[in-house]
């Protein structure tokens, strides 16, 4: 009886760098990596700009604590906002009110010389002052004493609105007591320079000052 031939096992050879399948696989990996990097790079064209970290009143110095950095993709519109790739200028002031989270326009920032507002402290009714917050916008009403009022008996006329959309900078934490046991609270507001003199004169003659929040003004 003849013997059957015994099959021999073939050895598996490690793939050589000359193997076309290996080269194609490596090439596909490289191409996919490069394409992925290009897609990510093109998709993220955002640039850093400054946004208000909280309410900022016009005339207020603008510091690093008042802003935060956000990345936006606005195309050509990005140029209208203050870039955050450099620190804020040392002499930066807000020229208008800024709300928390609002991107800071270049046009809303200037130097101290360009600020057209001054800070004035006003004594107002403590109850109405308690509802105000920094950054709130208020209309300022004045009730002036009637001419010829006798001493001890003050009659007021008005009210007259003398300012619109004045920004509140700070509200005193404690109330004050004036003549007649009327409780008042000091509120600091930013006032146009040309209106400061008249407002101070009203305070000097004992006029009653009332601050009325503007709807949607952040009170």
**Tell me, what's the pLDDT at 105?**
93
DSSP alpha helix (H) spans, 54-173: 126-129
- Whole-angstrom Cα distance, residue 64 to residue 62? 7
Thinking of the domain 47-113, which architecture would CATH place it in? Alpha-Beta Complex (3.90)
Provide, rounded to the nearest whole percent, the portion of the chain with pLDDT above 90.
26
Q: Which of 33-37, 61-65, 180-184 has the highest mean pLDDT?
A: 61-65
Size of the chain, expressed as the number of residues it contains: 219
Q: What is the distance between the terminal CA atoms of the chain, rounded to a whole angstrom?
A: 109
Task: Decide which of 118 and 148 is more confident.
Answer: 118
Q: List pLDDT tens digits, range 143-195.
A: 988 876 555 556 788 789 999 988 888 898 876 655 455 688 899 998 998 99
What mean pLDDT comes out for the span 118-140? 88
- Whole-angstrom Cα distance, residue 201 to residue 195? 10
**Tell me, what's the pLDDT at 134?**
82
In this model, does residue 68 exceed pLDDT 90?
yes
- Whole-angstrom Cα distance, residue 5 to residue 185? 111
- Whole-angstrom Cα distance, residue 107 to residue 11? 77
The pTM for the full model equals: 0.60
Least Cα distance to 210 among 135, 124, 136 occurs for 124
DSSP 175-200: -EE-GGG-EEEEEEEEEEHHHHHHHH
Residue corresponding to tokens 């059957």: 4
Residue 94, CB half-sphere, CA atoms under 13 Å: how many? 27
* Gyration radius from the chain CA atoms: 35
Computed over every residue of the chain, the mean pLDDT equals 81
């Amino acid at each position: 009886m003849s013997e059957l031939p015994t099959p021999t096992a073939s050895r598996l050879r490690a793939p050589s760098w000359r193997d076309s399948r290996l080269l194609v696989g490596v090439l596909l990996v490289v191409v996919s990596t490069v394409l992925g990097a290009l897609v990510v790079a093109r998709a993220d064209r955002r640039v850093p700009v400054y946004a208000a970290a909280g309410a900022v009143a016009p005339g207020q110095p603008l510091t690093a604590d008042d802003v935060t950095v956000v990345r936006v993709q606005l195309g050509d519109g990005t140029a209208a906002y203050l870039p955050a790739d450099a620190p804020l200028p040392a002499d930066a002031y807000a020229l208008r009110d800024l709300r928390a989270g609002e991107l800071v326009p270049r046009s809303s920032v200037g130097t101290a010389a360009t600020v057209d507002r001054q800070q004035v402290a006003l004594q107002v009714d403590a109850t109405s002052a308690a509802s105000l917050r920094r950054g709130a916008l208020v209309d300022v009403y004045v009730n002036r004493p009637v001419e010829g009022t006798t001493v001890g008996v003050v009659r007021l006329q008005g009210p007259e609105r003398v300012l619109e959309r004045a920004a509140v900078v700070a509200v005193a934490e404690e109330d004050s007591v004036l003549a007649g046991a009327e409780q008042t609270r000091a509120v600091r507001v930013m006032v146009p320079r040309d209106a400061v003199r008249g407002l101070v004169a009203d305070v000097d003659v004992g006029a009653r000052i009332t601050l009325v929040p503007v709807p949607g003004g952040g009170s």
